[in-house]
Amino acid sequence: MAADDLREASDHRLRMGIEEIFRREAGRVLATLIRLLGDFDLAEEARQEAFTAALEQWATAGVPSNPCAWLIQTGRNKAIDRIRRDAVFRTKVLEEIAGAETQPASVAAEADDDSFGDDRLRLIFTCCHPALSGEAHIALTLREVCGLTTQAVARAFLVSEETMAQRLVRAKRKIRDAGIPYETPEPPLLNERIHGVLAVVYGVFTEGYAATAGSRLVDAELCGEAIRLGRLLDELLPANQAVPGLLALMLLHDARRRARVSDTGDLILLEDQDRSLWDGSKIAEGLTLVDRAFSIRGQMSPYAVQAAIAALHVQSRKKEDTDWQQIVGLYEVLLRLQPSPVIELNHAVAVSMVDGAERALNLVDSLAARGQVSEYHLLHAARGRFLQQLGRLRESREAYCAALGFATLEPERRFIASRIAHVDKSLSPI
Amino acid sequence: MQYLLLIYANEAETAAMNPGSRESMTAEYMEFTKSIIQGGQFKAGDRLKPTSAASTVRVRNGKVLTTDGPFAETREQLGGYYLVEAKNVDEAIAIAARIPGAKLGSIEVRPVWPPMT
């Protein structure tokens, strides 16, 4: 009895250990198999078969010294077997893969960390290739690089699993049919493509950060995956200010996630947040990255500037201590680098903290007069706030009502409605 | 892999070009074509007569139906093409970006199925 129990317990431990290895190595194994086999679906099947074989063989023979290389080698052999069985493929594909087979040692030799890193970087550049649609970028990255299940990716996009599966199938077919390469671009093209990749990573993050529908768990998961991708890029890419800049920006935002929404699901503005809920270790990491980003010479990156603004916000222990003067300056830099109505609006809000509501109102009115953003709810909400501060309550109420008319997200609507109620209280004679 | 690079432009705008620009455009095209022939990527390439010269043919119930004009009325029209050999879509995109017409209209990059064996 006791011996059986012992064996069972040790089997269980072994199994848990093997599963832990699978979890840790899944991404690397897939990325390398895609390179070796040149096909996403074939690589996924091969990885699955390698995992199944490992569960059987490692239980008796023990875990090999380099499990990752074992899984890649086994996966590749399984794929070759599969192709041999499949007469349709027999002609061309086999010749290509078997060409690599003549040097079996090469796979094991490649099983050092550097080449795995390279394979995952290749995979990111393939998934974020500009010849694919924006929707496909995020979905493929989450599925193939982060290893999320199709179901989890579907939940993040609020579409059915079937729809997402179709989208992934189409994207993988496009990669194959259009000849989208599985490689990290060479320097002149690399700098151009990095921006697309970073935009996808930031898109994953904002999808998780701004999403107000769907389960909270998925939201946090997306932010976590985006940060993980940011860390990977920061580790693998040559010095480029945008990479640590983006990673810092995500960490500094994510550090405030718990303080951003109340227990009842209402939005809490930065100035009203409980600063003790902010995540100190994420803030510390973010601040170090901001410093590193600014120590890299070259073109200033909008991500790094935004991260510097976020850093100034989190560095003040009380809201009164915020260095608004410097924040105004950074927004002016950002406006030169990447002019946009949203940044103009944020700049105006910062100006209101330094020079008062009157000047800020002028800035917002001139932005509104240019007419591109007349339906942007936050523009009207900002006008409402400045007018309220100036005591022009009736105009303030009108502006808040306009904001409510254009807002679509429930927590934002509730927030604007509470502002209107606040103005109404000041307007009422009692 | 072979890629067909389809050159689309607004015919009315092209027709309204002044002779000087037209001449320099032609020179740029000759220069470009020469460069991809020397680079070994060129397989074929031609300039097409305008869509006013086009006919569209359909066979329905065994009958040939011919109509005047292109298959579809669009803002930009197919005006020429290159068939090129490229390692992958990045190389094809890089070639497409060097086509002089890319500055005026747009280039569609279409991979070609390999011939059936």
Reported as a single tens digit per residue, the pLDDT across A24-49 is: 888 889 999 999 998 888 999 999 99
pLDDT over 90 (residue A13) = no
Q: What pLDDT sits at residue A38?
A: 85
Mean pLDDT, rounded, for A373-391: 92
Residue A427 forms contact with B (CB below 8 Å): no
**What are A373's two structure tokens?**
């953003």
Q: Report the alpha-carbon angle B54-B58-B62, nearest 5.
A: 145
pTM above 0.90, yes or no: no
Mind listing the pLDDT tens digit for each residue in B54-113? 999 999 999 999 999 898 888 999 999 999 999 999 999 999 999 999 999 999 999 999
Is the distance from CB of A125 to CB of A184 less than 8 angstroms? Answer: yes
Q: How far is A384 from chain B (nearest CA, A)?
A: 44
Strand B42-47: give its sheet, edge to edge: B42-47, B77-85, B2-9, B106-111
Q: What is the DSSP letter of A142?
A: I
The length of chain A is 430
Partners of B45 in the β-ladder: B82
Cβ proximity of A243 and A194 under 8 Å: yes
Look at residue A104 in the predicted model and tell me its pLDDT.
45
Closest Cα of chain A to B8: distance in Å? 18
Q: What is the DSSP letter of A267?
A: B
pLDDT mean over A333-346:
93
Q: Within 10 Å of residue A1's Cβ, how many Cβ atoms?
A: 5
Nearest residue of B to residue A91 by CA position?
B117
B89:A189 CB<8 A: no
Q: Quick one: A37 exposed, middle or buried, by C-beta within 10 A (0-12, 13-18, 19+)?
A: buried
**Mean pLDDT value of segment B34-55:** 95
Chain centroid to CA A253: 12
Interface test with B, best of A180, A182, A184, A193 (most B CBs within 10 A): A180
Closest approach of A195 to chain B, Cα-based (Å):
16
B111 neighbourhood in chain A, CB within 8 Å: 177-179
For residue A257, the model assigns a pLDDT of 87
pLDDT of residue A98: 59
pLDDT at A93: 60
Q: Which residues of A touch B92 (CB under 8 A)?
A: 179
User: DSSP label at A213?
Assistant: S
**Mean pLDDT on A287-296:** 95
- pLDDT of A108 higher than 60: no
Per-position b or e across A275-314, b if 16+ CB within 10 A of its CB = eeebbeebbebbbebbebbbebeeebbbbbbbbbbbbbbb
> pLDDT band at A396, cuts 50/70/90?
very high
Rounded Cα distance between A307 and A244, Å, is: 9
Q: For residue A164, what are the contacts with CB-CB under 8 A and spacing of at least 6?
A: A139, A150, A151, A153, A154, A157
Which residue in A91, A131, A189 is closest to B89 by CB distance? A131
Q: Provide the ipTM.
A: 0.84
CB A154 within 8 A of CB A160: yes
- Residue of chain A whose Cα is closest to the Cα of B4: A178
A103 has pLDDT over 50: no
pLDDT at B11: 93
Tokens coding A178? 């259009």
C-alpha dist (Å) from residue A214 to A57, A167, B52: 41, 20, 54
pLDDT tier, A12 (very low <50, low <70, confident <90, very high otherwise): confident
Which ranges of A211-268 does DSSP label H, i.e. alpha helix? 216-236, 242-254, 257-260
Q: Is the pLDDT of residue A304 over 60?
A: yes
Q: Which residues of B touch A185 (CB under 8 A)?
A: 90
Are B88 and A180 inside 8 Å of each other by CB?
yes
Report pLDDT for A217.
Answer: 55
Using a CB-CB cut-off of 8 Å, the residues of chain A touching B109 are: 131, 178
Per residue in A112-160, pLDDT (tens digit) is 555 566 888 899 999 999 999 988 999 999 899 888 889 988 887 778 9
| Contact partners, residue B99, CB within 8 Å, separation at least 6 | B5, B7, B32, B82, B107
A178 contacts B89? CB cut-off 8 A: yes
CA B97 to chain centre: 13
What average pLDDT does the segment A232-246 reach?
89
Phi and psi (nearest 5°) for B67? -125, 160
Q: Quick check: A249 pLDDT over 50?
A: yes
What residues does B60 pair with on adjacent strands?
B63
Which amino acid appears at position A328 of this protein?
V
Q: How far apart are CA A251 and CA A285, in angstroms?
A: 8
Q: Do B87 and A181 touch (CB under 8 A)?
A: yes
Of how many residues is chain B composed? 117
Task: Find the chain B residues whose C-beta atoms sit closer than 8 A to any C-beta of A.
Answer: 1, 3, 86-90, 92-93, 109, 111, 117
Residue A429 pLDDT > 90? no
Tell me how close the Cα of A330 comes to any Cα of chain B, in angstroms: 35
User: Is A189 near chain B, with CB under 8 Å?
Assistant: yes
Token pair for residue A15?
A: 């199994």
Q: In the structure encoding, which two tokens stand for residue A87, read together? A: 């007469």
Cα–Cα dist A162/B104, whole Å: 41
- The pLDDT score that the predictor gives to residue A100 is 52
pLDDT of A77-91, one tens digit each? 999 888 887 765 555
Interchain proximity A179–B86, CB inside 8 Å: yes
pLDDT band at A95 (very low <50, low <70, confident <90, very high): low
Query: What per-residue confidence (pLDDT) applies to A88?
Result: 59
Instruction: Judge whether residue A386 has pLDDT over 70.
Output: yes
Answer yes or no: is pLDDT of B3 > 80. yes
Q: Is the pLDDT of residue A56 over 70?
A: yes
How far is C-alpha A211 from the geometric centre of its chain's CA atoms? Answer: 13
H or E stretch at B57: strand B55-60
pLDDT attached to residue B22: 92
Q: Is pLDDT at A326 greater than 50 in this prediction?
A: yes
Minimal CA separation from B79 to chain A, in Å: 23
Instruction: Provide the token pair at A103.
Output: 């040097």
Amino acid letter for position A226:
A
- Among the partner-chain residues B86, B89, B117, the one whose CB lies closest to the CB of A180 is B89
In the block, tokens 């970006």 appear at B97
Span B9-20, pLDDT tens digits: 999 998 899 999
Contacts of A181 in chain B (CB under 8 A): 87-90
Q: Which of A409, A406, A357 is nearest to A381 (CA)?
A: A406
